[in-house]
Amino acid sequence: MGEMFQNLDRVLEQVSREKNISKDILIDAIESAFLAAARKKWGYLGELESHYNREKGEIELFQFKTVVENVTDPNVEMTLDEARKLDPEAEVGDSIGVKMNPEVFGRIAAQTAKQVIIQKVREAEQCKVYEEFADREGELITGRISRIDKGDVIVDLGRTEAILPKDEQVPSERYKVGERVQGLLIRVLKPGKGVQQQLIISRKDPRLVAKLFSMEVPEIADGVVEIKSIARDPGYRTKIAVSSRDSDVDPIGACVGMRGQRVQSIVQELRGEKIDIVQWDEDPARFVCNAIAPADVVKVIVKERERKMEVVVPDDQLSLAIGKKGQNVRLAAELCSWSIDVLSESKVEELARRYQEALKRLLGISGDASFVFYSYGYRGIEEISVTPLEEFLKVPGISEEELKMIHSKAHELVSSGVTTADVVAEIAKEEEAAAKEKGSSAPSEDMLKPESLEGEMVDKTNEEKIV
């Protein structure tokens, strides 16, 4: 025990300097260690107190005994004569501290003291780490991989470590001990029992891409170019929407850089992940058209009420618009915060024909009338039923009396459980059967929409527009 605390003051100075921890914190730790060791060995001795003697550079332990006239338990009591040898002014009833000899501590007590010291030092280090990094969440952290523990990557930052958990890693990336790695600091844990790593970093968080662009593109760092949104499939593709506050600055060009140097630096850091830089637009339809790139868009049908868009593309670009396993349309939807359905031109024509035929059958109206309703966003009896009558009466080309009858009939059909989708499904089956018999799937002339009614139309009532 004596060896453990030889030159204690010098040890404290060294630890304080090397670990950058206050000496007072270390002294508190040593006092706690001695007190814990004493209680373990002499718990029956009552009240104990430890104190660090700065002049001697050693810890002193005191046992407090009560001054009594007649001692019945010498472990916790002393006579008045004994007390006055320590304190001439002692009186019966006082509590007197008796200095104990730390050298009598055994091996177990010494080990207990050592463990508590280590624990206190670690707690102090954790507090310093928390104070240093608590306000840095969302920043980039760079270090070298020191080890890999059960799939978690431990990153050496110099004075401390960070952890890249398995669920924050990019599935396609492989990590090796000794290599440099950069991640986004997503959480800083407070010191506590069981906390091994306080700094949690991520390689899959979309904000990592934003930070990399901010580092590589001065216009973003200066606030001239703004990142409006990001959608990411980590390791494979990212879509990032940007806009410029300065009409003279092209936001996409600024992000790409001369000969693509800026974006290539980011791609390299992301280990080959593809990046689509998209022009943001305050018009949601135009924004979606930009986001669905590289596919060309023929038409966008906006359904405001459902916050949904139907994007129509040429038949030969359907796969390009959807992307591998739906990646392109999924990222575009996430980027724009709209639900997106991608349809080919031929599919849209097919659906339009079937829905118009369904309206004819359900409501007993002409082909021209069904086309008008369809063009104004009334694709089924459900849309007609939920639209206030005064709004529905604004549909042009049809008499008010007929519109009232159609509106009433649509409401009755919906109330009875009839759905447009069921009728459309029946029409599809009929067409398939007819195609098998005739060897052709071409639609009949009476099912084609009138040429005179073609063109861009907007339905304010149903909050649906075709762009």
Q: 339-344 and 308-313 as β-strands: parallel, antiparallel, unpaired?
A: parallel
Cα(138)–Cα(385) distance, rounded to whole angstroms? 49
Cβ pair 221, 214 in contact under 8 A: yes
Residues in the chain: 467
The residue with tokens 């509106």 is: 407
pLDDT digits (tens), the chain, 467 positions: 444 455 677 877 887 887 777 888 888 887 887 788 777 777 777 788 888 888 777 777 788 889 998 988 888 888 998 888 888 888 998 998 888 776 665 565 567 667 777 887 788 888 888 888 999 999 999 999 999 988 999 999 988 899 999 999 999 999 999 999 999 999 998 877 767 788 999 999 999 999 999 999 999 999 999 999 999 999 999 999 999 999 999 999 999 999 999 999 999 999 999 999 999 999 999 999 999 989 999 989 888 888 999 899 999 999 999 999 999 999 999 999 999 999 999 988 888 899 999 999 999 899 899 899 888 888 898 989 999 999 989 899 889 999 999 999 999 999 999 998 898 899 989 888 888 877 654 454 344 333 322 333 333 334 454 55
pLDDT at residue 9 in the model: 77
Sign of the CA dihedral with 421 first, then 423, 429, and 430 last? negative
The number of angstroms, rounded, from the C-alpha of 323 to the middle of its chain's C-alpha atoms is 24
Per-residue burial over 406-438, b = 16 or more CB atoms within 10 Å of its CB, e = otherwise: bbebbeebbeeeeebeebbeebeeebeeeeeee
DSSP string, 31-100: HHHHHHHHHHH-GGG--EEEEEETTTTEEEEEEEEEEESS-S-TTTEEEHHHHHHH-TT--TT-EEEEEE
pLDDT at residue 440 in the model: 52
In 86-139, which ranges are E strands?
A: 95-100
pLDDT at residue 75 in the model: 80
Task: Count the Cβ atoms, other than its own, within 10 Å of residue 177.
Answer: 11
* CA separation, residue 351 to residues 355, 421, 437 (Å): 6, 11, 21
Q: 274-279 and 237-244 as β-strands: parallel, antiparallel, unpaired?
A: parallel
Cβ pair 59, 109 in contact under 8 A: no
DSSP string, 150-215: TTEEEEE-SSSEEEE-GGGS-TT----TT-EEEEEEEEEPPS-TT----EEEESS-HHHHHHHHHH
Residue 450, classified by CB atoms within 10 Å of its CB into exposed (0-12), middle (13-18) or buried (19+), is exposed
pLDDT at residue 18 in the model: 78
Closest of 55, 57, 56, 83 to residue 69, by C-alpha: 83
pLDDT at residue 223 in the model: 93
pLDDT at residue 196 in the model: 73
Cβ pair 184, 208 in contact under 8 A: yes
Please, which residues bridge with residue 59 across strands? 52
Cα(81)–Cα(91) distance, rounded to whole angstroms? 10
Cβ pair 257, 272 in contact under 8 A: no
Closest of 385, 382, 373 to residue 459, by C-alpha: 373
Cβ pair 410, 403 in contact under 8 A: no
Phi, psi of 138 (to 5 degrees): 95, 0
pLDDT at residue 272 in the model: 93
pTM: 0.70
Q: What 8-state DSSP symbol labels residue 102?
A: G
Sign of the CA dihedral with 44 first, then 45, 51, and 55 last? negative
Going from the N-terminus, what domains does the chain have, and what CATH number goes with each?
3-129 (3.30.1480.10), 137-203 (2.40.50.140), 205-280 (3.30.300.20), 346-466 (no CATH)
Outline where 217-314 has alpha helix (H): 218-221, 251-256, 261-269, 284-291
